[in-house]
Structure 1
Amino acid sequence: MKIRSYQLTIKTDRPLNTHSVSLRGFIGRQFPHLELLHNHTSDNSLIYTYPRVLYHVMNGYAIIIGIEEGVDAVKLVVSNLTKLLLNNTEYKIVEKIDTESEIDFGIIKNQLIYSFLAPWLALNERNFEQYQQLEGWTKKKDFLEKILIGNIISMSKGLGYTVSEPIKANIINLREVSTSLKGTPMLGFLGSFSVNFEIPDYWGVGKSVSRGFGTIKRVEELGS
């Protein structure tokens, strides 16, 4: 499946020293009428589908990705944005680099290896308790692999893609990390995994991907 994508990289007068959540909040407040930018409807209800706009702060740069309908929304940001105000600090925008393309998404025959660039929020309140009760890494690994597959299936449904063959995921290495979401302490995971599924770089899996959580990047093709 080909998906329309637009990536905007914003360079400022000095490196950004903040989290993706702050970037998402600022953009959402600047353009409240564009629901795709903040993933909420006009009555502040959450839009329950895969986000059409993703936000990242990486290596001191802001990166905003528009997906399908989100492409045009991000393009409006390009034309109207001159500065960023993040955590009460103003950053002057000195350069905008944008790329629009048709990217591949979906099941494939071979396995690709991905690395998490930001904590993967795999667990909700219910399965967190289940995870904590499991003894040994083998059981926890199997549990998390099933969740990972479920995350990819949910992502696919949100993008209108039908998964026609079984998804086979293997966690290569993973470590627990402490993080927070809206001020609430959360357990996240960093590491790498392989899966027979093509996911574009800088997309996310799991909870709160529009805020930058669960961001992945392809490392290599297994066996290459």
Structure 2
Amino acid sequence: MILHTFTLTLGSTRPIHGTAPELRGFFATKFTEYAELHQHDADTFIYRYPVVQYKMINNVPTVIGINEGAEVLKKIYDEYQEIRLGANTYQIVERGIALKDEEFGISDKIRSYEFATPWLALSQENYKRFYTLKGKEERDEFVRKILIGNIISMSKSLGYEILAQIKCDTDLHFQKDRLKDVSVMTFTGKFLVNFLIPDYLGLGKSVSRGFGAVKQRTWENEKD
């Protein structure tokens, strides 16, 4: 399957300090007419894989549109001269854009990825279950199955039918994080899977707010 993606990066006259949720908030407030930007239709939340996702990658505001989300970003990417993130306003003097057709789906080769931003994997129920598991092997298997489930859910939402078994291995570490002032568990690290995922697309929960962005690694990176 081919995904059409539009990646937008923003540069200012000074270093930008902000979060992915603040970046999402700016676009959602500025362009309320586009449900793809904020996942709301009137007062109803749209439960689907977000087709516009917001990230802070190495402190660079990054917005990624997928398919219809890419079409929306094409329309509005330059319709503002400044952005407000939290209490700070930044003049935008540089916009990087990349429009691509990218392969997505089952691969005949094992691909190596890393999480460029923390992966929010566990629901409240799974969070409790994770802590009841004994030993690294049980926890690793539990998380591996959740990762496969995330890939399946993303595929269904994007209209891709998986016709082969997903094979996956992980090398992840969990940590405490914050989401809406609530303590949550996130994961960082690497994983291997026979699936093609374009760079910086998110897996798991709250991907529109920057969590779970993946980046493909080259085999040379595996020495790291």
What's the TM-score once normalised by structure 2's chain length?
0.95
Residue 181 of structure 1 deviates from its aligned partner by: 1.5
Identify the match of residue 205 of structure 2 among 204, 207, 213. Answer: 207
CA distance in 2, matches of 1:3, 1:78: 19
> Does structure 1 retain, via aligned residues, the 8 Å contact 2:57–2:116?
no
Distance in structure 2 (CA, Å) of the matches to 1:79 and 1:129 = 44
Q: Is the 8 A contact 2:19 2:85 kept in 1?
A: no
SS in structure 1 at match of 2:75:
helix
Q: Deviations over 1:168-222 (max 9, x none)?
A: 1100x21111111122110000000000000000111000111110011001259
SS at match of 1:21: helix
Distance in 1 between the 2:147 and 2:80 partners? 36
Q: Within the alignment, does 1:110 sit opposite 2:109 as a pair?
A: yes
Q: Which residue of the partner structure matches residue 27 of structure 2? A: 27
Shift of 1:94: 0.6
1:54 aligns with 2:44: no
Mapped contact 1:111–1:221 kept (Cα < 8 A) = no
Matched, 1:42 2:69: no
**Alignment: residue pair count:** 222
Partner of 2:144: 145
Q: Is the 8 A contact 1:16 1:57 kept in 2?
A: no
- Could you tell me the percent identity over the aligned residues? 39
* Residue 190 of structure 1: aligned partner: 188
Match of 1:169 in 2: 168
User: Where do 5+ consecutive residues of structure 1 fail to align?
Assistant: none
- Structure 2: which amino acid aligns with 1:50? Y
1:61 shift after superposition: 1.6
- In structure 2, what residue type is equivalent to 1:81? Y
Q: In the alignment, is residue 124 of structure 1 matched against residue 123 of structure 2?
A: yes
1:178 aligns with 2:187: no
Give the distance between the partners of 1:169 and 1:212, measured in 2 at CA: 23
Gaps in structure 2 of 5+ consecutive residues: none
CA distance in 2, matches of 1:206, 1:112: 19
Q: 4+ residue stretches of structure 1 with deviation over 3 A?
A: none
C-alpha deviation, 1:119, in angstroms: 1.0
Supply the AA of the counterpart residue of 1:33: E
